[in-house]
Amino acid sequence: MGSRLIGAVSAIAYIVLTGLLLTAPAGAQTQSSFRNPVLPLDASGNDSPDPWLFRHDGRYWINYTSDGQLVYRSARVLDGLADAREHRIWPPEGQTEPVERSAELWAPETHRIGNRWYVYYTATTAGTGIYSHRIYVLESKSDSPAGPYRFKAELSLPQPYAIDGTVFELKGKLYLAYSGGPLFTPASIYLAELSNPWTVKGLPIEVSTPEYDWEKQSFAINEGPEALIHGGRLNLIFSASWCGSGLYALGRLTVPAGADLIDPATWADSKFPDPVFETDAARGVYGPGHGSFFSTNGGKEWWNVYHATDQAGKGCFTGGLRTTRVQRFTWNWDGTPRFGRPASLGNDLVAPKPDRTIAIQAELKRSFRPSARASRIEDSRFFGYAGMTLKPKGGKLPAMKFGILRKGRYRLYLRVLGGPQAGWLKLVRPDARNVFRKLARPRERVVNLDLGTINLNRGRRFLRLRSGQPVTLDQIRLQPERK
């Protein structure tokens, strides 16, 4: 493992924050950025397809397709999701699911309806090889998206194959949108009214079926519908083509928000003829789709959450590891979303307000210039898939430079590689108090080190490290403490 680890067992890193004042304007906002993917691959190499991200109680919460169970993570800031603990929603520990809903638990979404939380997810029978997927509903036992949950119902839907259920409320009515068909292809988007969160009212209507070439790459599929309501318009955003083709893309249906949504005539000519978000080979983003949306800053900022891969021609079931990305989008004059192009993993993006966390990527040229003592390293577990290996000279590692534009108290995090041969980190604070953190892990993995809080004045700062061995660093994060 060599230079990819933080030292031998005896190695100690020495960290000091010092600085000179900057001439920043008095009203300047704290530097605040993030880099995709917000959920890189985890320590086991698992990805996070079908991300459903929402905000509640000042925190980000995310669901995604996991291995045989429903899970969530929660954090105060976007960059915190990657290191947040994964919690199981369903099935509860020690409980075995009935065989008909025991396999391929896909695309969970957590929605607040009334005074309860409901999780909608897809599952099927284990070991049959038959496309008989159904949509199921869990209901919370308390007023928290963390649960615990009870099984509530299977949604009664006429299609033999039904997946990717989502719900939305409009004009006092509750609706279900989902993907379905006789098999997994061809698959169309259907809409139904619900009489309550777990009961379908009447027969669903078909609102979109694959008709353009970009909806038929490998297989004819419309799936993963999500609702966006803005400016008197209901936009039903869906994913098109097979997720394993590498040409997965987002499409759009748009109708007046006040229309009769269960009248098929409402949806005639509602489909935009071109994809609204698609593969961008020049930026290294392939197969973006099946995600969610959220708003911040009192509805002034809107965000597109999606999975994508950086492997051309690959996706689900074809070796493409799909990671969760987030980027801001805007609105057209007619109430339709303008998503733009997928952001490159190398781009630093301005974080949602009021997320004032300062996230510094180690591979940025302004932080460490590549040299014999600081070399770029690629790793799919990192933000932006890149970091820096820092080599010591006389026990000293290259210093990272960053700016503080807002005086305050910050919690300091380091995101590094640890492993079986890694030792300890030592933080020497300005108040001379020492903080120790153990880095040894059973196997090589990304470690998020919480080094406690520190008071910082406005100005230029340097992070000075001491270690007897090379250090592989992904990110430094300074998270403002609440007053």
Longest dimension (CA), the chain: 75
CA distance 382 to 360: 12
pLDDT tens-digit map of 234-278: 999 999 999 999 999 999 999 999 999 999 999 999 999 999 999
Query: 50, 109, 164, 355: which one is catalytic?
Result: 50
What does the pLDDT read at residue 372? 82
Query: Is-catalytic flag, 50?
Result: yes
What integer pLDDT is reported at residue 365 of this predicted model? 65
Catalytic entry in 47, 83, 223, 226? 223
Q: Is the pTM of this model over 0.75?
A: yes
Q: Where are the domains of the chain?
A: 2-26+357-480, 36-350
Joined tokens for residue 199: 């009961």
Is it true that domain 2-26+357-480 has CATH number 2.60.120.260?
yes
Confidence at residue 4, expressed as pLDDT on a 0 to 100 scale: 40
Same CATH topology for 2-26+357-480 and 36-350?
Answer: no
237 strand-pairing partners: 226, 252
Percentage, residues of the chain above pLDDT 70: 91
**223 is annotated as an active-site residue:** yes
Average pLDDT per consecutive 10 residues, the chain (483 residues; last block may be shorter): 36 45 31 87 91 94 93 94 95 92 96 96 88 96 94 98 98 97 96 98 97 98 98 97 96 97 98 98 97 92 97 92 97 97 93 83 76 89 91 78 79 88 71 76 90 82 74 88 70
Which pLDDT belongs to residue 408?
A: 85
pLDDT tens per residue, range 213-223: 999 999 999 99
Domain 36-350 falls under CATH 3.40.190.10: no
- For 395, list phi and psi in degrees, rounded to 5: 85, -5
